[in-house]
Amino acid sequence: MQFETNSPLWLGASWVASQKDMPWEELEGKTVAITGATGLIGKTLALSIVARNKLAGEKSKQTRVLALVRNVAKAQSILGDDDYIDILHWDASRPSTEGFPKADYVIHCANMTDSASFIERPVEVIETTTAGARSMLEYGRRSNARVLVLSTMEVYGQYDSEDPISEDQGGFLDAMNVRNSYPEAKRLDEALTAAYASEFGVSATVARLAQTFGPGVPYDDRRVFADFARSCVEGRNIVLLTTGQKRNMYLSTRDAATGLLTVLVKGEAGRAYNVANDDTICTIREMAEEVAARFGNDCTQVEVKVDAEAAKRFRKGDLLRLDTSAVRELGWAPKVGLMEMYNDMIEQWKVD
């Protein structure tokens, strides 16, 4: 398997593999199943394990990856033919794990995360999200595996407070707002995770991620952070469709990988963990202006053209500050800043 050693995606995976404050010894000689292994977080995790195997060297310390994907050819182009990766077809819309080998760990990453889909295809979003999680919890139950289900900061709903929100709190989430098809489905995923832990004794946990990006984000990604970077690359202005006063937290794909592996190994069954970088909180407007100044080559300015219809795609609420003390107590801390995340993503686009 040959990698572009100068690719930010592979360099990021190698960085994850080199982190000494990670529970790598718990994964040695084990099998880790990852759904959505061609997606942003899934492929970062898979490649990080590959990189760790290369670093470890000894066969007894190798970790096997089961890459569960809808598009096998795409997975092969990303993950190649490494001896310790098995690529298996798995579709969250029609999930089946019949014939799959047992896993010691399961990480469920596969999700529909395009916010436009939440409005345009809400039924599919709900069905695919919940069916996929149920499939992996059952697979983990049969395998007697530890299971980690990825969730989102959006499950907190509309929660506007300067105080950090902990995992046992929540805000208002209108179930009749079609845009909420995704966070409502993720809430059900979380309820299923707690139910499997309680009723069947499955060692299953949840990770609620802040918005995550870095190398591996497709150039045509429709989310706001990608549009900001794309505007700079193309030498045009960043256009805000809202006033840009909403404040969010973010997370690097590298920090996401270290955080998720930490929660996978050390997390308490039946509970959730916020995973975010506290230092990244800012308004959308502030982020746009900093990105334009850093990457716009004096060609990109920030314009505000409020579009009420387009704004329906975005999360309601002006502030969501996550309390990350629980995951930090497991020994994890983020290390990658917001502009470094942007730099990694833009540099990967140059390679692609």
pLDDT, tens digit, 9 for 90 and up, residues 175-208 = 999 999 999 999 999 999 999 999 999 999 999 9
> In this structure, what token pair is assigned to residue 24?
């790598």
CATH at 78: 3.40.50.720
Give domain status of residue 313, yes or no: no
Exposure string over 284-319, b if 16+ CB within 10 A, otherwise e: bbebbbbbbeebbeeebebeeeeeeeeeebebbbeb
pTM of the model: 0.94
| 149 has a pLDDT exceeding 70 | yes
48 Cα distance to chain centroid: 14
Question: What's the CA gap between 165 and 174, in Å, rounded?
Answer: 19
| 1 has a pLDDT exceeding 50 | no
Give domain status of residue 291, yes or no: no
Structure confidence at residue 159 (pLDDT) = 74
Count how many domains the chain has.
1
Which residue range is the domain that position 81 belongs to?
8-216+250-279+319-338
159 vs 27: which has the higher pLDDT = 27
Q: Which of 201, 195, 141, 194 is nearest to 167 (CA)?
A: 194
Give domain status of residue 287, yes or no: no
Residue 88 parent element (H or E): strand 85-89
Give domain status of residue 20, yes or no: yes
